[in-house]
Structure 1
Amino acid sequence: MIELINPLMLAAADAAPIKPAMALGTPLLLAIAAAGVALLLVMIIRFKIQAFVALLAVSIMVAVASTIPLKDIFTVVANGVGGTMGKVALLIALGAILGRMIEVSGGVQSLADHFTAKLGASRVAIALTLVGFLVAIPVFFEVGVIVLVPIVYAFAKIAKVHPVKFGLPMAGIMLAIHVAVPPHPGVVAGAGVMGADIGLIAMISLSICVPLGFLSYWVASILNRRDYELLPSVKAQIEEFGNPDTLVASHRGTMAPPRPALIITLIAAPIVLILLGTAGTLVLDKANPWYGVCAFIGNPFFALLFAVGLSFVLLAVRRGWSMKETGEIFESAMPPIASILMIVAGGGIFGQVLQVSGIGTALSETLDQLGLPILLLGFIISLALRAAQGSATVAIVTTTGLLSAAVAGGGYTPAQIAVIVIAIGFGSLGLSHVTDAGFWVVVRYYGLTVADGLKTWTVLTTVLGVAGFALTYVAWILVGGLAHS
Structure 2
Amino acid sequence: MGATVDWLRTTTPGLLVLCGLAIAVLLFAIIKVKLEPFIALLLTGLALALAAGLPVSKIVGTAIKAGDSLLETGFGGILGHIAVIIGLGTVLGAILERSGGADVLTGKLLNLFGEKGTPVAMGLLGLIFGIPVFFDIGIFVLAPLIYVAAKRGGRSLVLYAMPMLAGLSMTHAFLPPHPGPVALGGLLGVSLGWLILMGFVCGLPGFVAAGIVWGSYIGKRIHVEVPDEFLVRKEDETAPAPDEGERDADGSGGVATKTVTAAPPSVGLIGAIIAVPLVLILGATFGTQMLDKDSQLLQVLTFFGTPAVALLIAVLIAFYLLGVRRGSTVQELSQLTAESLRPVGMLLLVVGAGAFFGKVISATGIGTALADTMSAAGLPVIVLAYIISCGLRIAQGSATVAIVTTGGIVAPLVASHNYSQMSIALIAMAIAAGSIILSHVNDGGFWIIAKFFNLTVKQTLQTWTVLETILSVVSFAVAAILFAIVS
State the shift of 1:474 in Å.
2.8
Answering whether residue 100 of structure 2 is matched by residue 93 of structure 1, we say no
8 Å Cα contact 1:137/1:181 also seen in 2: yes
State the shift of 1:248 in Å.
2.7
Larger mean Cα displacement after TM superposition, 271-280 or 114-123: 114-123
Answering whether residue 433 of structure 2 is matched by residue 439 of structure 1, we say no
Q: 2:418 aligns with which of 411, 422, 425?
A: 411
Match in the other structure for 2:73: 79
Q: 1:217 aligns with which of 212, 216, 219?
A: 212
Separation in 1, partners of 2:478, 2:215: 19
- Could you tell me which amino acid in structure 2 is paired with residue 457 of structure 1? W
Q: Deviation digits for residues 357-398 of structure 1, max 9, x if unmatched?
A: 111111112122211111011111111111111111110000
Query: What is the SS of the residue equivalent to 1:121?
Result: coil
Separation in 1, partners of 2:463, 2:345: 31
Match in the other structure for 2:253: none
Match in the other structure for 2:63: none
Separation in 2, partners of 1:245, 1:229: 23
Match in the other structure for 2:250: none
Q: Deviation digits for residues 12-67 of structure 1, max 9, x if unmatched?
A: xxxxxxxx9x9511111111111111111111111111010000000000000110
Separation in 1, partners of 2:391, 2:325: 47
TM superposition score normalised by structure 2: 0.91
Answering whether residue 28 of structure 2 is matched by residue 36 of structure 1, we say no
Query: What is the SS of the residue equivalent to 1:245?
Result: coil
Separation in 1, partners of 2:174, 2:465: 18
Answering whether residue 480 of structure 2 is matched by residue 473 of structure 1, we say yes
8 Å Cα contact 1:181/1:187 also seen in 2: yes
Separation in 2, partners of 1:344, 1:184: 12
* 1:76-475 map, 5 Å: 76-215=70-209, 216-230=211-225, 235-238=227-230, 241-243=233-235, 244-245=237-238, 247-250=240-243, 253-475=260-482
TM superposition score normalised by structure 1: 0.91
Answer 1 or 2: which has greater helix percent: 1
Query: What is the SS of the residue equivalent to 1:223?
Result: helix
State the shift of 1:246 in Å.
5.4
Q: Deviation digits for residues 284-334 of structure 1, max 9, x if unmatched?
A: 121323222222222111111111111111111111111110001111111
Distance 1:246 1:303, change over 3 A: closer
Q: Deviation digits for residues 125-175 of structure 1, max 9, x if unmatched?
A: 111111111001111011111101111111111122232210111101210
Structure 1 unmatched ranges of 5 or more: 1-19, 481-485
- Could you tell me which amino acid in structure 1 is paired with residue 117 of structure 2? R
Match in the other structure for 2:248: none
Match in the other structure for 1:63: 49
Structure 2 unmatched ranges of 5 or more: 1-5, 61-68, 245-257
8 Å Cα contact 1:107/1:260 also seen in 2: yes
Separation in 1, partners of 2:92, 2:44: 34
8 Å Cα contact 1:176/1:465 also seen in 2: no
Match in the other structure for 1:50: 36
8 Å Cα contact 2:261/2:327 also seen in 1: no
Q: Percent identity?
A: 38
Q: Deviation digits for residues 147-205 of structure 1, max 9, x if unmatched?
A: 01111111111122232210111101210110111110011112211111111111111
8 Å Cα contact 1:351/1:400 also seen in 2: yes
8 Å Cα contact 1:156/1:238 also seen in 2: no
8 Å Cα contact 1:173/1:209 also seen in 2: no
Distance 1:84 1:330, change over 3 A: same
8 Å Cα contact 1:88/1:189 also seen in 2: yes
Separation in 2, partners of 1:96, 1:440: 23
Over aligned residue pairs, what C-alpha RMSD do you find?
Answer: 1.7
Q: Which runs of 4+ in 1 moved over 3 A?
A: 238-241
- Could you tell me which amino acid in structure 1 is paired with residue 73 of structure 2? N
